[in-house]
Amino acid sequence: MIGAREHTTHPIALVLFAAIYLMLAPPDLAAESAGVCPAAVKATNDHGLERIEIASACRRNESVRASYGSWEQEAAFSGEGVASLAVAITDDKSPIILTYRDETSTEIPVDTSALATVLRITLQWEAPVDLNLHVVEPGGVPGWKGDATAGHAPEQFGLIGKLDLADDGTGVGPFQESYVLSNRLDRPNDIFAIYIENATRGRRPSEDHCGQGQYARIGVNLIVADRGKINRRHIELPAAACNVFLDNREYYLRIPLLMLESD
């Protein structure tokens, strides 16, 4: 074609451009362009619950997987590049492993020494429903005084422990709720009882949440760390009849095999 000529860029010019671009780009963008995506990981052992916060701007809207023994959990990074996880610690001393989308990983050491002085009860489940853990302390009643559950402030409900991890069954699963009594000296010499409430099913079950519905029966895991002793149990919550009102005995499902008694 008359007047046309091929436009070329000298290889040295490309190298110089790339170097200047990486120097002027924000740190996270420069690292990503170089094939490295840094992550700042903060892990805190909160009385047997490892709370993990990851900040990585170049992983915005990605996900991270945490593995601890047989337990696996995923969390999504926010638009600001922050992800949070909580892992219930057991007697397994292997590290928590964080794995990112690019298959790079980070190991977090596990300290099990805190388990010797605490009572921690953790409920875990996969189904996208809102389950509520209720730990009824000695002398308490489900739904009333002495019932440690989501939304019950210790000072208003006469509690010595508290629910310090709550979930509503939405977003990335699996889901968890956890109760803690941090000081073994606060344990009264009486029985603690564990109940599970299916708030999504409600008092009058219907559709997928009753009979033979998809979420009529729900499998859950309970982990009880009681002053150094670990009790793990898988339980299938039974189905309820459709369109039949549930009284308190049916609505708050008691887990009798995991009642806890002080020494």
Residue carrying the six token digits 């309970």: 222
Average of per-residue pLDDT across 229-236: 92
Q: How far apart are CA 75 and CA 221, in angstroms?
A: 19
- What 3-state class would DSSP assign to 105? strand
Return the domain boundaries, the chain: 23-29+37-108, 118-261
Q: What is the number of other CB atoms lying within 10 angstroms of the CB of residue 92? A: 14
Residue 66 carries which side chain, given as an amino acid letter? A
pLDDT at residue number 163: 95
Taking only the tens place, the pLDDT of each residue in 167-198 is 999 988 899 999 999 887 777 777 889 999 99
Q: How far apart are CA 251 and CA 148, in angstroms?
A: 16
φ and ψ of 60, to 5 deg:
-50, 135
Residue 202 has pLDDT above 90, yes or no: yes
Pick the CATH number of 23-29+37-108 from 1.10.540.10, 3.40.50.300, 3.40.50.2000, 2.60.40.10: 2.60.40.10
pLDDT at residue number 261: 54
Taking only the tens place, the pLDDT of each residue in 128-182 is 999 999 999 988 999 899 999 999 999 999 999 999 999 999 988 899 999 999 8
> What is the biggest distance separating any 2 CA atoms in the chain, rounded to whole angstroms?
98
Query: What element of type H or E holds 18?
Result: helix 11-24
Average of per-residue pLDDT across 5-19: 40
Cβ–Cβ < 8 Å for 58, 88: no
Residue 241 carries which side chain, given as an amino acid letter? A
Instruction: Say which residue, 187 or 87, is predicted with more confidence.
Output: 87
Q: How far apart are CA 193 and CA 224, in angstroms?
A: 12
> Which tokens hold the place of 232?
């793990």
pLDDT at residue number 187: 73
Cβ–Cβ < 8 Å for 7, 72: no
Average of per-residue pLDDT across 103-131: 94
pTM: 0.82
pLDDT at residue number 7: 37
Residue 62 carries which side chain, given as an amino acid letter? E
> Which tokens hold the place of 196?
């599970």
Measured over the CA atoms of residue 75, residue 79, residue 81 and residue 82, the dihedral's sign is: negative
> Which tokens hold the place of 51?
């709370």
Residue 32 has pLDDT above 50, yes or no: no
**Exposed / middle / buried, residue 84 (Cβ in 10 Å: 0-12, 13-18, 19+):** middle
- What 3-state class would DSSP assign to 62? coil
Average of per-residue pLDDT across 237-257: 92
Q: How far apart are CA 112 and CA 228, in angstroms?
A: 9
Whole-Å CA distances, 195 to 142, 152, 237: 8, 15, 11
φ and ψ of 114, to 5 deg:
-65, -20
Pick the CATH number of 118-261 from 3.10.20, 3.30.70, 2.60.60, 3.30.360: 2.60.60
Distance from the Cα of residue 14 to its chain's centroid: 47
Residue carrying the six token digits 């006469």: 158
Sorting pLDDT into bands at 50, 70 and 90, what band is 262?
Answer: low
Q: Give the closest residue to 193 by CA, choosing from 150, 256, 149.
A: 256
